[in-house]
Structure 1
Amino acid sequence: MTLVPSARPQRTRWLIGIAAVLLAVFAFSASPALLTAANAATTTPVDPATAKQSMQIWVRLDSDKTGVPNVSVNVTGKSGFDETVVTGPDGKVLVGFAKSGTYTVTVDEKSLPANAGFPNLNPRKVDVFAQGIEVPAYFLVSPSNPAIGSTPAPGPSDGISNESSAQFWSVFWSKVVTGLIFGLLLALAAIGLSLIYGTTGLNNFAHGELVTFGALMAYTFSGILHWPAWIAIIIAVVLGGAFGWVQNAGLWAPLRKRNLGLIPLMIVTIGLSLALRYIFVFFWGADRLTLPNSTKPFLVVGAISLKFTDVAGAVVAIVLLLAVAYVLLRTKIGKATRAVADNRSLAAASGIDVEGVIRTVWIGGAALAALSGVFVGYYQSLRWDTGASILLLIFAAVTLGGLGTAFGALIGSIVIGVFINVSTVWLPENLKYVAALVVMILILLFRPQGILGRRDRIG
């Protein structure tokens, strides 16, 4: 009898090797010298933009929307906070806060240029929420606005309602744009989760940790080792894909071979999620971390002010989402993925390597989740539980779009992202996730299969 050598020992050696590399990255990033440098970088305030919460005050002329420099603005609020700041050459100034809460912002009208007029809605109250970076407090200066304490003349010519309406729409469209960006970043993670569910039937509650892993890898190489951001992002994506391969090869593939039920598998994902979160805490600490990023506006359109990383994240997300659509619709691996998602047994009987497809989906989904984590870290800073904090939104996007449909996950992500941002115009910041979930429930009441969910799936 001739014995055929098994490929399992070689696969095991590869698995052990990649796991050793990942552990080496963990250990290297957690060395005392690097942690000291990281803590110094994140705990020493360089400017208000690096604070855990901050407010961007912008005083503008209503006539041509140019910024008004050298305007004195007083900010008071929680725990006796009382600070007076002066706007810069662009009419803007950042104020950092140690605590979230409601703050009163008052423009000193005596510091305004002569004949410029007065700001609208002065003073005003602004809610600064946890993780809120550069919360807007915009003032339009116009001769038609009344001074503080004055009584406006009656009639439609007082300009108050027009100014209030202009302020509302400027804030509204700003939130729509930032919501679209967040929705695109959410879609990168949601598509991977949807494809994993479609090909394996697994609801992966540890998917959020793939998002966190990517963000922490970018922070390690960019924030601690000070490598160029683009190199750090590429490394984070590659390591994220490798992490997905390790998870599938070391845990999920063996459990599938043992025909473990979906409910026990789901419980395993919950346990893995908790374990990974506290591994992240052990190596990177529980403090909020900040990726090196410029706070200067890169694109300003009216009241909409975006950083370079906001624009870059949206562009990269759109390109990758189009690439995923092309792969799913035009390539052999994409057609095989759709076949496995529709009928796994029939796909296997047709000669498709089901395990190979699942392996590819895990690598690609984890890489997309890692990239999503990187740009979410630029968007709102990061912590050990960044992925876990948006996991419910990722599941909501997948469910809203239609379980197992990649294109549905994209649509659901954009709907969720826009709605949670726009809802803060009327609702407190801490209720925005609740509002998004309520909308999801209402849509599912009328379309239980989701927006793009149907019997013959296309993604």
Structure 2
Amino acid sequence: MTAFRLLIACFLTAAGLLAAAVPAQAGTAIGGTLRVKSADAPAPVAGVELAVQSTQGGETVRGRSGPDGRFEIPLPAAGPYRVTLEAKTLPDGVVLPAGRSPTLTVDVQEGQSKLVLFPLERAGAVQQRQGPSVATRVLQVVLDGTVFGLIIAMAAVGLSLIYSVSRIINFAHGEFMTLGALLAFLLSTMAGGPQWPLIAAAVVAVLAVGALGGALGTGLLRPLESRAKEHFSILVFTIGLSFAMRYLLLALFESNTQPYREYALQEPLRFAGLAITPRDLVVCTVAVLALLGLGVLLLRTRLGRAMRAVAGDPGLAEATGIDVNRIKRDIWIVGSALAATGGVLMAVSHQVRWDMGYQTLMFVFAAVILGGIGTAFGTIAGGVVLGICMELGTLVFPVELKTALAMLALAAVLLVRPQGLFNRAQRVG
């Protein structure tokens, strides 16, 4: 009963923080930065006029780029818009690249500041029109896939750990990702209060979601597990919990899509023909360090050995003196904290959205199955392999098909190795 009260207190505290700290809804707008390519660094282009009009017609809204090349044009409502760069207002010697249209069509959501990009170049400049080599393109998509794969692996290994110990498939795992990202966003952009550095906000968010996961596993799922005749009841409960959390977050955060202010607009770093933004470099570094720390926990600590023992045989582990209930609680804390970490990293690389965890959950399950259900290190490898395969598919097929191709590859692997790539086959019967 104490654990149940702790769960309710944690959830109400998180909901209260969300309700109190959600900033006033940002105005619907279109924005961006105009820069021209140069030999040194891109230079801002000031004084360029842009015209925005709804695709359904109506009044044309105009804006102008400032001294730093930035522009932001408020819009009266959400919807599809045409953004036109007035080429006649470009400074002398600055033009749009050949074949580039001065008009873009974008779909703007309510409360969103939609980013639009117009590449500019010097008139008469000698440009290398040929694209990158095949080897460079392959290396670039492998790099991009590794970034996404590490994020997926971070969340997937938490789900795999929870299943390996408790045999519970937690469909609310995606919402733990979203909650971690939202809490970090709100703490770092809190209206009327201290705006924390993102790293401090992320640490607090991860700890809070870990505590919530521990309370969930102890206060709700353990009593339900002892009363339910089969795990299907628990599966349905976690699906219902997922829906409840998702739409509570929608009610509190609304449908805003927001970036972390410290990682809003960044120029990519280039090396040997490859490009990576500083935020993706941070994501990779944090993910690798966190996964290495998890490996040390599982292999070199007493708690990790106890977790592996309970995962292997709970009855035998309890007979040797291990407190199985405490280990289950700890694994829920660790697994939920890993989900929150994955959510923060996903939001850094992309943006914060109320259903981001739900949209990612399919890839999380795919990584768990591909690596082998219940294998932590196999799940990590499965997440990275999945991310790379998704991006490699874009070299041949349209980018819209990369998710379908990844799922087809997963099905093909499971036809050959039903136990996953990194799990052992077991005899049944």
TM-score, length basis structure 2: 0.78
Judge conservation of contact 1:104–1:124 (CA < 8 Å) in 2.
Answer: yes
Task: Give the 3 Å change call, closer, same or farther, for CA 125–346 of structure 1 in structure 2.
Answer: farther
Judge conservation of contact 2:85–2:102 (CA < 8 Å) in 1.
Answer: yes
Task: Give the 3 Å change call, closer, same or farther, for CA 441–30 of structure 1 in structure 2.
Answer: same
Aligned residue among 367, 374, 377 for 1:407: 377
1:43 has 2:13 as partner:
no
State the distance in 1 between where 2:137 and 2:64 align.
22
Which residue is equivalent to 1:53? none
Q: Gaps (5+ residues) in structure 2?
A: none
1:199 has 2:183 as partner:
no
Which residue is equivalent to 2:280? 310
Aligned residue among 226, 233, 239 for 1:270: 239
**Per-residue deviation, residues 243-285 of structure 1 (Å, max 9, x unmatched):** 1011101111112223541222211111111111122123222
State the distance in 2 between where 1:175 and 1:124 align.
28
Instruction: Map residues 326-337 of structure 1 onto 2, 5 A cutoff.
Output: 326-337=296-307
Aligned residue among 208, 229, 244 for 2:174: 208
Partner of 2:269, secondary structure, is: strand
State the distance in 2 between where 1:173 and 1:105 align.
34
**Alpha-carbon distance, 1:317 to partner:** 1.0
Partner of 1:293, secondary structure, is: helix
**Alpha-carbon distance, 1:299 to partner:** 5.4
State the distance in 2 between where 1:182 and 1:408 align.
17
**Higher relative contact order (Cα pairs below 8 Å, separated by 6+ residues):** 2
Q: Which amino acid aligns with 1:48?
A: G
Judge conservation of contact 2:160–2:375 (CA < 8 Å) in 1.
Answer: yes
1:452 has 2:422 as partner:
yes
Task: Give the 3 Å change call, closer, same or farther, for CA 402–28 of structure 1 in structure 2.
Answer: closer
State the distance in 1 between where 2:380 and 2:18 align.
34
1:346 has 2:316 as partner:
yes
**Alpha-carbon distance, 1:397 to partner:** 1.0
Q: Which amino acid aligns with 1:192?
A: G
State the distance in 2 between where 1:409 and 1:212 align.
20
Partner of 2:262, secondary structure, is: coil
**Alpha-carbon distance, 1:433 to partner:** 2.1
**Alpha-carbon distance, 1:127 to partner:** 9.2
Judge conservation of contact 1:59–1:91 (CA < 8 Å) in 2.
Answer: no
Partner of 2:37, secondary structure, is: strand
1:26 has 2:2 as partner:
no
**Identity rate of aligned residues, in percent?**
31
Judge conservation of contact 1:133–1:380 (CA < 8 Å) in 2.
Answer: no
Count of aligned pairs? 414
State the distance in 1 between where 2:316 and 2:379 align.
25
Instruction: Map residues 136-215 of structure 1 onto 2, 5 A cutoff.
Output: 163-166=129-132, 174-215=140-181
Which residue is equivalent to 1:229? 198
**Per-residue deviation, residues 159-210 of structure 1 (Å, max 9, x unmatched):** 9xx7343288777655443332222122111110011111122221111011
State the distance in 2 between where 1:171 and 1:90 align.
32
Aligned residue among 221, 240, 248 for 1:252: 221
Which residue is equivalent to 2:5? 16
**Alpha-carbon distance, 1:429 to partner:** 4.6
**Alpha-carbon distance, 1:365 to partner:** 0.7
Judge conservation of contact 1:196–1:361 (CA < 8 Å) in 2.
Answer: yes
Please say which of residues 414-423 and 296-305 is displaced more in the overlay: 296-305
Judge conservation of contact 2:44–2:68 (CA < 8 Å) in 1.
Answer: yes
1:365 has 2:326 as partner:
no
Judge conservation of contact 1:70–1:86 (CA < 8 Å) in 2.
Answer: no
Q: Which amino acid aligns with 2:377?
A: F
Please say which of residues 411-420 and 167-176 is displaced more in the overlay: 167-176
Q: Which amino acid aligns with 1:30?
A: A
Partner of 1:30, secondary structure, is: helix
**Alpha-carbon distance, 1:336 to partner:** 2.1
TM-score, length basis structure 1: 0.74
Task: Give the 3 Å change call, closer, same or farther, for CA 297–280 of structure 1 in structure 2.
Answer: closer
**Alpha-carbon distance, 1:346 to partner:** 3.0
Partner of 2:187, secondary structure, is: helix
Aligned residue among 60, 74, 79 for 2:37: 60
Judge conservation of contact 2:210–2:333 (CA < 8 Å) in 1.
Answer: yes
**Alpha-carbon distance, 1:113 to partner:** 4.0
Judge conservation of contact 1:68–1:87 (CA < 8 Å) in 2.
Answer: no
Partner of 2:354, secondary structure, is: coil
Judge conservation of contact 2:154–2:342 (CA < 8 Å) in 1.
Answer: yes
Q: Which amino acid aligns with 2:55?
A: S
State the distance in 2 between where 1:394 and 1:95 align.
38
Instruction: Map residues 280-291 of structure 1 onto 2, 5 A cutoff.
Output: 280-291=249-260
Partner of 1:383, secondary structure, is: coil
* RMSD (Å) for aligned C-alpha atoms: 4.2
Instruction: Map residues 86-125 of structure 1 onto 2, 5 A cutoff.
Output: 113=93, 119=97, 122=100
Q: Which amino acid aligns with 1:23?
A: L
Partner of 2:132, secondary structure, is: helix
Task: Give the 3 Å change call, closer, same or farther, for CA 223–426 of structure 1 in structure 2.
Answer: farther
Aligned residue among 192, 196, 211 for 1:242: 211
Judge conservation of contact 2:246–2:354 (CA < 8 Å) in 1.
Answer: yes
**Alpha-carbon distance, 1:386 to partner:** 1.3
**Per-residue deviation, residues 396-422 of structure 1 (Å, max 9, x unmatched):** 111111111111211121122233345
Aligned residue among 343, 347, 354 for 1:384: 354
**Per-residue deviation, residues 354-409 of structure 1 (Å, max 9, x unmatched):** 22222111100101111211222222222221111100010011111111111121
State the distance in 1 between where 2:258 and 2:416 align.
41
Task: Give the 3 Å change call, closer, same or farther, for CA 167–120 of structure 1 in structure 2.
Answer: farther
**Per-residue deviation, residues 48-95 of structure 1 (Å, max 9, x unmatched):** 25xxxxxx876536xx57536549798999827999999999999999
Judge conservation of contact 1:60–1:91 (CA < 8 Å) in 2.
Answer: no
State the distance in 2 between where 1:67 and 1:395 align.
41
Aligned residue among 369, 394, 403 for 2:364: 394
1:79 has 2:55 as partner:
yes
